[in-house]
Structure 1
């Protein structure tokens, strides 16, 4: 019994002593990709599942490992319908990337909408960010507005989606929003908290009052665990 109590105490201590995760500065790159490029990959990742089953609809984080690939681990925001608290295990050595608040505009599959038109539409609500508060391991990230990232070119919204009826048909899309990129966090437990909203004064603009309210508890573990 004493040995078991010692092991339990040691484990709890190691979780509590995890070093605070480091927020990378705007413009930092991972594998040559900056936040704008990563946001395109994030939207493609979020679109892997069909509507209603996508990462931002996951209430608990149960599916946070679905479709993850490469050196960056994506965390989802929400659809704006409710506040969520998620738990997620993240392999040690991965960067972590997630939205504070963001929009994507895409054209119907097979239909050409000019990229500039999509970029302008994605920007509309982001020009009216009202609040953006991000805490990483209990520390507020200063001036979250500086983390805005916008598409420089359009990307295929459904490049990784296996459920589409016409694979290979390009669906141009553009992203605009506020994103956080973390250096690979230390082993142990970390906490992420996001509170953000738009306040677009124009009536009837889709997403003009979008609210993001979500929390993550992530346990960074060795990939073999």
Structure 2
């Protein structure tokens, strides 16, 4: 899942990148058909509104990075985060360090270059089953060392087609 998310996040240049997005307008870009990815931030906090198709599970980082094994060990030693879905606590999953391959486009703000990058990915993640149709609130807060990120998502799940 991490490699797929990083490739999704690296599939857009900075101007349209979902991680750099300040209001949610880029949340639907390049979404796969079997999961709906949500993005964190490059640091700091934002509020985003996002429409999610019905029947789609959701995956998002709480706090994450990629690099080498030592980078991940140091990052995960300080990683912490909280997730609230409609006011209820959701426990993040811990990924200590998985080998990932990221395919990025030119000018993407994650790898900075076009092509394939192999690295170790790690972080705290949340994976949610498909949400009921209607409006939902998802609050994600993550921190590792001096880096902190937060996103308040106002999610609208479309009613399923009859």
TM-score bracket, normalised by the shorter chain, equals 0.7 to 0.9
Maintained 8 Å contact 2:36/2:57: yes
1:102 and 1:175 map into 2 onto residues whose CA distance is 8
Maintained 8 Å contact 2:134/2:159: no
Question: Secondary structure of the residue that 1:92 maps to in structure 2?
Answer: coil
1:60 and 1:192 map into 2 onto residues whose CA distance is 14
Larger strand proportion of the pair:
2
Q: Trace 1:34-53 onto structure 2 (pairs within 5 A).
A: 38-51=1-14, 53=16
- 1:104 pairs, out of 59, 66, 76, with 66
Q: Which residue of 2 aligns with 1:210?
A: 147
Maintained 8 Å contact 1:40/1:151: no
Larger helix proportion of the pair:
1
Q: Trace 1:163-174 onto structure 2 (pairs within 5 A).
A: 163=106, 170-174=116-120
Q: Trace 1:44-83 onto structure 2 (pairs within 5 A).
A: 44-51=7-14, 53-80=16-43, 82-83=44-45
Q: Which residue of 2 aligns with 1:23?
A: none
2:140 and 2:51 map into 1 onto residues whose CA distance is 18
State the Cα deviation string for residues 129-162 of structure 1 (Å, max 9, x = none): 2x422111111225x4xx111443332x22xx34
The gaps in structure 2 that reach 5 residues or longer are 108-112
Q: Trace 1:1-225 onto structure 2 (pairs within 5 A).
A: 38-51=1-14, 53-80=16-43, 82-105=44-67, 118-129=68-79, 131-142=80-91, 144=92, 147-155=93-101, 157-158=102-103, 161-163=104-106, 170-199=116-145, 209-222=146-159
- CA distance 1:173–1:223, shift in 2 (3 Å): farther
Larger Rg: 1
State the TM-score, normalizing by the size of structure 1: 0.63
Q: How many residues in Structure 1 have an aligned counterpart in Structure 2?
A: 157
Maintained 8 Å contact 1:96/1:183: yes
State the TM-score, normalizing by the size of structure 2: 0.86
Cα offset for 1:124? 1.6
2:160 and 2:105 map into 1 onto residues whose CA distance is 26
Cα offset for 1:223? 6.6
Maintained 8 Å contact 1:136/1:192: yes
The gaps in structure 1 that reach 5 residues or longer are 1-37, 106-117, 200-208
2:23 and 2:30 map into 1 onto residues whose CA distance is 17
